[in-house]
Amino acid sequence: MTKKIALIYTGGTFGCIGEPLSPMPHESFIPKLKRILPNQQQIDCFTSKNILDSSAATAKDWLQLIQQIQELQLAGYENFVIIHGTDTLSYAAAVLSRFLQSSCRVILTGSQYPLLNIEGNDTREFTDAIDNLNSALDQVVKVTNGVYLAFYHQVFHASTVLKVHTTALDAFRGQKHDHDLEQNQQPPHFNEPLLIKNEHFQRAEQLNILNWMMLPISKEKFADNLKQLLVNPPDFLVIQAYGTGNLNVDDEIIEIFKQLKQRSCQTILTTQVPLGGMDQRYSVSQWIKNAEILTNDCASLADLYAKILKIYLQYPTSQQWHDHWFDSAE
């Protein structure tokens, strides 16, 4: 297996300069980036199609990145390090994990502080950018095939990652790469890599997801809110309930869920609690069946987003999304 690494720069704080921070043009940044790369490794630098603040990234940007990786695979690259902004780093990691699976080795990283000083003529006196990048470059030729996220001297399984602090260097949590994923966190065996084609970009731009985190309001008000969606429903409605997936419903709410499904909106029940996952041991499981809604079986909220995106691109109809949601190897 080749040790050659493709380093792809997509933007983010890592490449910003000035005060307030703004991105340095990539034509100027890449030569400065090359100067701090370890000499003992064979690293080729690339830029993504769009260099942007990660808070502006959408599915199309990540699909274009995946397509770029797949094209580089055809050119002989097997190891990839992605520099990405931290705001949506967990989402980028989860999407790449769902779509690339174990077809190559990918580590995403970023930084809370820029690589360069305000003037952009030297490395910053205090920065986590160099350590995070070096960790990713060191580990990408050592880990097993798959997608990971490296941050603050830690490497996580990409599908499990959550950003837990806005400014601290130790900003992410997830399942460490040297620990096996729990059974319910493992990608299903049927879930092969998806070859990205240009037609996927336009379809991805049409995907509409609404995410509601429940707050303590009456069932009547919750029903009123749901009714508003019947006029122009999203493709997917994600409801972050309490605890292990507990949601207080009645016959009216269940009926609205059914009406949403009839209007091609798939409702997915998940939990707003970051750790522990879903557990339908209680009577709520029966109303879920009656309401014809789906439940979250993913490793993180970002992984749920990635699963929605992939199944949306794989199947053309809402009913197929519902029918294939829990697909697994026989």
Hey, where are the domains in the chain? 5-185, 207-296
Of the chain, the percentage scoring pLDDT greater than 90 comes to 88
Domain 5-185 belongs to what topology? Answer: Rossmann fold (3.40.50)
Encoded tokens for 223: 């029903």
Average pLDDT, integer, range 217-227 = 98
Pairing of strands 22-23, 43-47: unpaired
What pLDDT is recorded for position 330? 30
CA distance 247 to 244: 9
**pLDDT surpasses 50 at 329:** no
What pLDDT is recorded for position 182? 62
What pLDDT is recorded for position 276? 84
Q: Which residues are annotated as a binding site for substrate?
A: 54, 86-87
CA distance 211 to 110: 26
pLDDT band at 23 (very low <50, low <70, confident <90, very high): very high
CA 299 distance to own-chain centroid: 11
**pLDDT surpasses 90 at 295:** yes
Q: Which residues are annotated as a binding site?
A: 54, 86-87
* Mean per-residue pLDDT of the chain: 93
What pLDDT is recorded for position 189? 45
Single pTM value for the model: 0.94
Give 71-80 pLDDT, tens digit per residue. 999 999 999 9
Give 49-76 pLDDT, tens digit per residue. 999 999 999 999 999 999 999 999 999 9
CA distance 191 to 157: 17
CA distance 96 to 142: 19
pLDDT band at 36 (very low <50, low <70, confident <90, very high): very high
- Please check whether the two domains, 5-185 and 207-296, share a CATH topology: yes
Domain 207-296 belongs to what topology? Answer: Rossmann fold (3.40.50)
Give 204-213 pLDDT, tens digit per residue. 999 999 999 9
**pLDDT surpasses 60 at 188:** no
What pLDDT is recorded for position 271? 95
Average pLDDT, integer, range 274-293 = 79
Active site residues: 13
